[in-house]
Amino acid sequence: MDYLEGLNPSQRAAVEQLKGPVMIVAGAGSGKTRVITYRVAHLIRNGVDPFSILVLTFTNKAAKEMRERITSVVGDAARNIWMGTFHSVFARILRVEAQHLGYPSNFTIYDTDDSKSLIRTILKEMQLDDKLYNANFVYNRISSAKNNLISAAEYQKNEQIQAEDNSTGRSFLGQIYQTYTQRCFKAGAMDFDDLLFKTNVLLKNHPEILYKYQNKFKYLMLDEYQDTNFSQYLIVKKLAAIHENLCVVGDDAQSIYAFRGANIQNILNFEKDYPDVKVYKLEQNYRSTKNIVNIANSIIAKNKNQLKKDVFSNNETGDKIKIIRAFSDNEEGKIVAENIVQKRSISGSKYKEFAILYRTNAQSRAMEEALRKLGVPYKIYGGTSFYQRKEIKDLIAYFRLTFNPNDEEALKRVINYPRRGIGNTSVERIMIAANQQNIGLWDVIKEAPTYLDNRTASAVAPFSTLIQSFQAIASDHNAFDTAMHIAQHSGLLRDLYEDKSVEGLSRYENIQELLNGIKEFSEREDIEEKGLDVFMQDIALLTNEDNDKDPNADTVSLMTIHSSKGLEFPYVHIVGLEENLFPSQRSLNSRSDLEEERRLFYVALTRAEKNVYISYATSRYQWGTLNNCEPSRFIDELDPQYLDLDFKPRMESSGPASSFANERAGWQQNQSDQHGDTYFKPKPKIKQKTTSILPKAHVPSENFSPSDTSKLQVGMEVEHERFGFGKVVNVEGKAPDMKATIFFKELGQKQLLLKFAKLRIID
């Protein structure tokens, strides 16, 4: 049991509690993953059959890491644990039980693009205004309904939902949902939401199957329980109903996904669901300095709806959190980029130790431009993943069609790519025939002479033969041989090879990389089934978090705060702390929404290990218009004793944070809603007795021109184009890494890297 020796008392108690309902409230950086993996290992070490353990996560990356750690303790027995994301585990169950729902076991899993493409087709067929019935809006509406376990039939019967749709002029949403459901079923396809929705249907309508899996999974563990939605909550509650050996791990302070259906009440009400629950709190933060932990505590303490815990750190005190004011979003980007270069030079850090976090993707532009100007390598985290690239989706569509020819979205994608004389007119004729006969597109193509005119039938016959030949190859070849055959004989590989442009070469190399991955899969010794259909099941369930980050790349990471969840960096810049941006304007209508924004800020702060920089701009471009900005109320809420202002007060004030409230001219909280929600409304500007500590912008002298600073000496008077006038108090290092410490009259002392500092030496 040596693996228990390295745990602190709270962690060890949670690991050793094996029976009954358990809730582990894990603060940021408290060793949550370690506790989960050791608890599973401890179950196995105490005689629990690995086949009876179910561990659910939110990313495949997390599941893989946990399995590796468990293997290091218990050996190969870890291979027998049912472990993975909600979607991957229940897709596995659905493939076994699919016939009970009328689906084939090799059903296709539609990604978001497939679903939206089908919705656009339906909108076109129904001749609906695609601006009013925007495909994104319709998709989100259907997704929300499924996550709340509302079927298409129930959607159309629900008077409240119908009234809401009618009030927005979208009375056909129910019909679209119904048609979408029917078309997916006809195509033998489920979308991502179906993997949970259909599992709920399966467990509800087939009690013998529910009983089967209740007795199979005697021990359940859930990671990130605060992020579960109603559908996930209900599945877990049903599966754990007999044995109640259910352990949930999470942190209500990091619940930030309400926009995609996560319900924080799942974790807040766990003790009500299971009165006999044992609660363990992991409160020691091993990641961050004391100042970072304390500042994060000061912000999250403002939330009323939370599980109380006292997060602390025994690490060093560390630097205070720096608040930086910029005059524009472009200047904010410049300050951040210069700070990264300077900090890297002083500390000897790598670029990959720095992260820039923002509330919205649009904020990345100013950051990217500033980083490019200084030659700083960076990567946008959360961009297009490998499996979402067009050429990859094209080849995968051929794979999907090989195993499920009823997959209409895959069929439409490749029926005329590469070009084979089957244009839009021919496809429309196929669709019309399919609708008239109430059969699938593939049924029409396979029996083309029966349903189509001679010209169209002649055009599609070779395509039908091609797909059937792929099916024959797949039946007795491994994944790589099948994939290579399809890539070559579909004409896709040749088409990309003949494109000699830079983009064409890149696309060709991406296909080669996909085939390399399939080759590695075919040679794996830890799996028995090595068909291409098995490989397809794996990649269909990959999440963006599993693909986006190369841990070896030495680049600054740029990402939204939502994307940063679960990550950590020594140095973190949180940018754009302005009203209506962070917190977002949409969050100002209710207390619950504002508290989620505050939790998002807490997540951002707790990503940092050593240093946090918080910045805001007093003006920012939005939709082509330059707008004045007000500092975020969240800055006001930070405990000033942990702050380091990037400017010097011009007059005495009641405290560092108070000035931000003055500058924002105050936003009052009115407890006016009967449900207790808080509404935030701007009030007229009031003259403040306390003068703002924010300095006036420095206007460079008329003759301002940067001087040669290679001979800069202590005692010299200098002018900085932004910081104003100052005096050199220290010079250290050698060119090109010389640094100078300068005391500026308005801002106080600052250390600058001279090769980037624009200084005018005053004679």
Comparing CA positions, the residue from 11, 23, 32, 31 lying closest to residue 279 is 23
Which residue in 193, 224, 407, 630 is the catalytic one? 224
Would residue 79 show up in a list of annotated catalytic residues for this protein? no
By CB neighbour count within 10 A (0-12 exposed, 13-18 middle, 19+ buried), where does 56 fall?
Answer: buried
Residue 459 — left, alpha, or beta (φ > 0 → left; ψ -120 to 50 → alpha)? alpha
CA separation for the pair 86, 318 (Å, rounded): 39
CA separation for the pair 137, 218 (Å, rounded): 40
Residue 63 annotated in ligand binding: no
Residue 27 annotated in ligand binding: yes
Would residue 276 show up in a list of annotated catalytic residues for this protein? no
Supply the DSSP symbol for 240: T
- Within 10 angstroms of residue 693's Cβ, the number of other Cβ atoms is 22
Which residue in 97, 165, 194, 223 is the catalytic one? 223
3-state secondary structure of 114: helix
Residue 326 annotated in ligand binding: no
Residue 683 annotated in ligand binding: no
What is the DSSP annotation of 196-228? HHHHHHHHHH-HHHHHHHHHH--EEEESSGGG-
Which residue in 11, 32, 391, 633 is the catalytic one? 32
Supply the DSSP symbol for 704: -
Residue 28 annotated in ligand binding: yes
Strand ranges across the sheet with 724-732: 748-753, 739-744, 724-732, 717-720, 759-761
Question: What are the tokens at 159?
Answer: 């008077």
Supply the DSSP symbol for 682: E
Would residue 681 show up in a list of annotated catalytic residues for this protein? no
Task: Give 476's contacts (C-beta < 8 A, 6+ positions apart).
Answer: none
Pair 219, 53: CB distance under 8 Å: yes
Would residue 317 show up in a list of annotated catalytic residues for this protein? no
H or E stretch covering 559: strand 556-560
Question: What are the tokens at 153?
Answer: 């039939």
Would residue 224 show up in a list of annotated catalytic residues for this protein? yes
Residue 6 annotated in ligand binding: no
CA separation for the pair 204, 101 (Å, rounded): 12
Question: What are the tokens at 391?
Answer: 């050429």
Long-range pairs for 441-449 at CB < 8 Å and ≥24 separation? 441/406, 441/408, 441/411, 441/412, 442/405, 442/406, 442/411, 445/411, 446/405
Side-chain-side CA neighbours of residue 492 (13 Å): 28
3-state secondary structure of 282: strand
CA separation for the pair 391, 375 (Å, rounded): 31
Give the C-alpha distances (Å, rounded to integers) separating 338 from 298, 370, 520.
Answer: 29, 8, 42
- Within 10 angstroms of residue 157's Cβ, the number of other Cβ atoms is 12
Which residue in 121, 254, 289, 555 is the catalytic one? 254
Which residue in 16, 17, 33, 178 is the catalytic one? 33
Supply the DSSP symbol for 364: H
Strand ranges across the sheet with 278-282: 82-85, 53-57, 219-222, 246-250, 22-26, 278-282
The one-letter code for the residue type at 687 is K
CA separation for the pair 155, 150 (Å, rounded): 6
Q: What are phi and psi of 57, to 5 degrees?
A: -125, -175
Pair 307, 268: CB distance under 8 Å: yes
Would residue 560 show up in a list of annotated catalytic residues for this protein? no
Which residue in 400, 607, 633, 664 is the catalytic one? 607
Catalytic residues: 32-33, 223-224, 254, 607
Residues making up the binding site:
26-33
Residues making up the binding site for ATP:
26-33
